[in-house]
């Protein structure tokens, strides 16, 4: 063994960082053995690898990390057609160089430790060690010339590809189901067609809609004769209990049911399954239930996102059908708007913004009962950059909430795109394809802040100007560079890219913050601009409180439009 810089990790290296907990060695060892067991290695060779893996990782945990779970160890392995390389890195200083150069068995044959280095060195063809400021690394290599070994993939890449595949599948199904929802004139036909389409892609032993006892009679009459509909009166106690659940529930086997306090004897023959409540507004229509006799594999769990989308759309379809049976038109319109707001809250909750020592993001929103189309979201991309989006859907009711939900899906799938302008262009094409000839659109402002908090990239599609305050209090605006999203498919947007020094503040708003008197919109904007300038140094919470007080004093208690404010403060 020699003291040297660590070898360059081979192509296809699999890397796992785990707490220094001995209980985690077994599952990780099984993953390693699985990755080398698909080739032509004899059983005795695999058995030796099990022993070597255990000795290497336990040494890193016990001696290098002192079994302290606050410390981490890194385990890596790679496989080529001619060799297997396994390495462990821990925060310790490593064994003395003499033991590394000439490992031996302990003098006491009954000793419970001291054999690891000897076992490793006698098994491996090459052993390399490295002491550095971050700890100790031990790397072993075993050659297998001319022997077929399974070439590994990357778990990180596989996970990303699997997630992207699932997202794109959900978006594709979402597209088709929303088309069905718009075009179908019958609730039963929509749900039946949607279930058939899902089952053609993901066969299950059974999938059905279980109605709740409070299911509106008009809905019950439409669905009762469908083969996939199950009435509460025809269901056993177990299924009735599952159908009344108001939380999403997934299980792979009966033990999972027990852990969730759903231990039903009648479910012992069911391997895996899931329950997605069908809810819109404050109406609980039932649940979408999928059952398998065998446990659900990872592949079978992939379509859970699609099932969730299907359950959401079933809720929207049921709500629309229920509304169509309300005779009083004014009551129906008001109820639709209330349900749209509830759908927006359910499908589009205001999520907690990412936390960083480089910036601070706060999101405030209050919805009216006239338009339910505002939405704001802040996420970080895989590189740690902050991405903020503010939208305002031009429309009202269920359709506005649905379009905002489509935007959220398209936004999540576009986080990897490097500029705000390019994100707008990608999302615009998606929305144009979704909307077709529908006269709806979205105004949107997107800003990307680099992970180090020193560059901002902003682009806007027909949205309100974004306030940009320098550290000295001077104010400029980021203006839109193109039309709203969903109007023209081929549009080129441009970004404003500004270097940040720290101390800057950005304010994103929707027109509900200032357009209360439609007879004098220009005056409303200038008055609002003066108000924001006067309060530019207030905390985000104080800024929101003062804005709402201003609206109440000048307009009244009830909002005419949604009011949304996002503050972004850059730290020095």
- Final residue before a domain boundary, out of 114, 143, 172: 143
**339 belongs to a structural domain:** no
pLDDT tens per residue, range 236-276: 777 777 777 777 888 877 777 777 777 666 666 667 788 88
- One domain for residues 270 and 182: yes
In a domain, 221, yes or no: yes
d(CA 419, CA 377): 17
DSSP single-letter state for residue 45 = H
Domain identity same for 528 and 387 = yes
421 assigned to some structural domain: yes
Same domain, 281 and 235: yes
Helix (H, G, I), strand (E, B) or coil at 403: helix
- What's the N-to-C CA distance of the chain in angstroms? 48
User: Do the Cβ atoms of 407 and 391 come closer than 8 Å?
Assistant: yes
Same structural domain for residues 197 and 163?
A: yes
Please tell me whether residues 548 and 526 are part of one structural domain: yes
Helix (H, G, I), strand (E, B) or coil at 313: helix
**What is the percent of the chain with per-residue pLDDT over 90, rounded to a whole number?**
23
> Do 274 and 372 fall within a single domain?
no
Q: What is the pTM of this model?
A: 0.45
In a domain, 333, yes or no: no
CATH label of the domain that carries residue 6: 3.30.565.10
Query: Which among 94, 120, 143 is the end of a domain?
Result: 143
Higher pLDDT, 527 or 259: 527
Same domain, 135 and 170: no
Give a yes or no: residue 331 inside a domain.
no
Do 310 and 194 meet the contact criterion of CB atoms below 8 Å apart?
Answer: yes
Please indicate, yes or no, whether residues 412 and 527 belong to a single structural domain of this protein: yes
User: Which residues make Cβ contacts (< 8 Å) with residue 427, sequence separation at least 6?
Assistant: 407, 410, 411, 414, 444, 485
State the pLDDT confidence band at 41, using cuts at 50, 70 and 90.
Answer: confident
CA-based nearest residue to 281, from 334, 344, 328, 223: 344
Strand order in the sheet with 505-509: 359-366, 563-570, 505-509, 466-469, 475-478
Q: Are 308 and 287 in contact (CB under 8 A)?
A: no
Residue 519 scores a pLDDT above 50 = no
Q: How many domains does the chain have?
A: 3
Residue 27 lies in a domain: yes
Max mean pLDDT range (15-19, 184-188, 322-326, 537-541): 537-541
- The reply to whether 336 falls in a domain is no
Say yes or no: 261 and 163 in one domain: yes
The CATH number given to whatever domain includes residue 373 is: 3.60.40.10
Find the domain containing 392 and state its range: 348-570
473 vs 511: CA distance, rounded Å: 23
pLDDT tens for 271-284 read 778 888 888 777 88
Boundary-marking domain end, from 84, 109, 143:
143
Within this chain, do residues 162 and 73 fall inside the same structural domain, yes or no? no
Which residues share a beta bridge with 292? 272
Confidence of residue 110 (pLDDT cuts 50, 70, 90): very low
Q: Are residues 305 and 269 in the same domain?
A: yes
**Residue 518 resides in a domain:** yes
3-state secondary structure of 332: helix
**Do residues 373 and 503 share a domain?**
yes
pLDDT bin (cut points 50, 70, 90) of residue 494 is: very high
pLDDT, one tens digit per residue, over 57-82 is 999 998 899 888 888 899 998 887 67
Q: Which of 179, 20, 28, 1 is nearest to 100 (CA)?
A: 1
181, 182, 187, 189: CA torsion to nearest 10: -70
Inter-helix orientation angle 155-183/187-201, to 10°: 150
């Amino acid at each position: 063994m020699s003291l040297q810089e660590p070898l360059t990790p081979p192509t296809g290296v699999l890397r796992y960082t785990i707490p220094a907990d001995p209980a985690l060695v077994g599952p990780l060892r099984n993953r390693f053995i699985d990755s080398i067991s698909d080739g032509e290695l004899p059983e005795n060779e695999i058995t030796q690898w099990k022993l070597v893996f255990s000795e290497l990782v336990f040494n890193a945990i016990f001696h290098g990390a002192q079994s302290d779970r606050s410390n981490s160890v890194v385990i890596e392995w790679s496989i080529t057609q001619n060799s297997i390389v396994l390495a462990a890195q821990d925060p310790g200083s490593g064994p003395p160089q003499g033991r590394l150069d000439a490992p031996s068995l302990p003098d006491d044959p009954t000793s419970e430790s001291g054999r690891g280095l000897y076992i490793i060195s006698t098994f491996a063809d090459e052993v390399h060690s490295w002491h550095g400021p971050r700890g100790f690394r031990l790397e072993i290599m075993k050659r297998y010339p001319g022997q077929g070994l399974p070439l590994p993939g990357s778990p990180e890449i596989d996970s990303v590809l699997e997630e992207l595949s699932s997202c794109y599948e959900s978006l594709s199904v979402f597209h088709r189901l929303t088309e069905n929802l718009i075009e179908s004139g019958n609730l039963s036909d929509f749900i039946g067609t949607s279930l058939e389409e899902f089952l053609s892609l993901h066969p299950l032993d059974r999938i059905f809609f279980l109605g709740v006892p409070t299911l509106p009679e008009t809905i019950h009459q439409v669905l009762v004769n469908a083969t996939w509909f199950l009435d509460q009166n025809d269901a056993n106690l177990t299924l009735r209990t599952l159908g009344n659940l108001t939380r999403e529930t997934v299980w792979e086997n009966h033990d999972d049911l027990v852990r969730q306090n759903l231990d039903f004897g009648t479910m012992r023959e069911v391997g895996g399954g899931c329950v997605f409540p069908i809810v819109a507004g404050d109406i609980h229509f039932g649940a979408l239930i999928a059952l398998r006799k065998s446990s659900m594999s990872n592949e079978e769990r992939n379509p859970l996102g699609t099932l969730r989308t299907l359950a959401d759309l079933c809720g929207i379809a049921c709500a629309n059908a229920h509304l169509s049976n309300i005779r009083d038109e004014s009551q129906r319109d008001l109820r639709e708007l209330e349900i749209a707001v509830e759908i927006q809250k359910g499908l589009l909750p205001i999520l907690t913004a990412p936390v960083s020592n480089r910036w601070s993001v706060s999101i405030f929103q209050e919805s009216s009962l006239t338009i339910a189309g505002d939405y704001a979201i802040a996420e970080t991309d895989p590189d740690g950059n902050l991405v903020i989006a503010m939208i305002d859907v031009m429309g009202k009711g269920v359709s506005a909430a649905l379009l905002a939900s489509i935007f959220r899906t398209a936004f999540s799938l576009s986080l990897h795109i490097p500029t705000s302008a390019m994100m707008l262009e990608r999302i615009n094409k998606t929305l144009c394809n979704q909307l077709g000839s529908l006269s709806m659109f979205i105004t949107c402002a997107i800003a990307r802040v680099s992970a180090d908090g020193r560059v901002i990239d902003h682009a806007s599609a027909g949205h309100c100007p974004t306030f940009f305050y320098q550290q000295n209090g001077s104010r400029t605006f980021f203006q839109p560079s193109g039309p709203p999203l969903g109007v023209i498919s081929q549009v080129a947007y441009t970004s404003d890219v500004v270097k940040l020094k720290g101390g800057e503040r950005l304010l994103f708003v929707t027109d509900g913050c200032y357009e209360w008197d439609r007879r004098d919109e220009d005056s409303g904007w200038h008055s609002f601009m003066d108000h924001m300038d006067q309060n530019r140094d207030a905390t985000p919470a104080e800024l929101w409180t003062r804005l709402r007080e201003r609206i109440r004093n000048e307009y009244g208690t009830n909002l005419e439009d949604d009011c949304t404010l996002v503050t972004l403060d850059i730290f020095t």
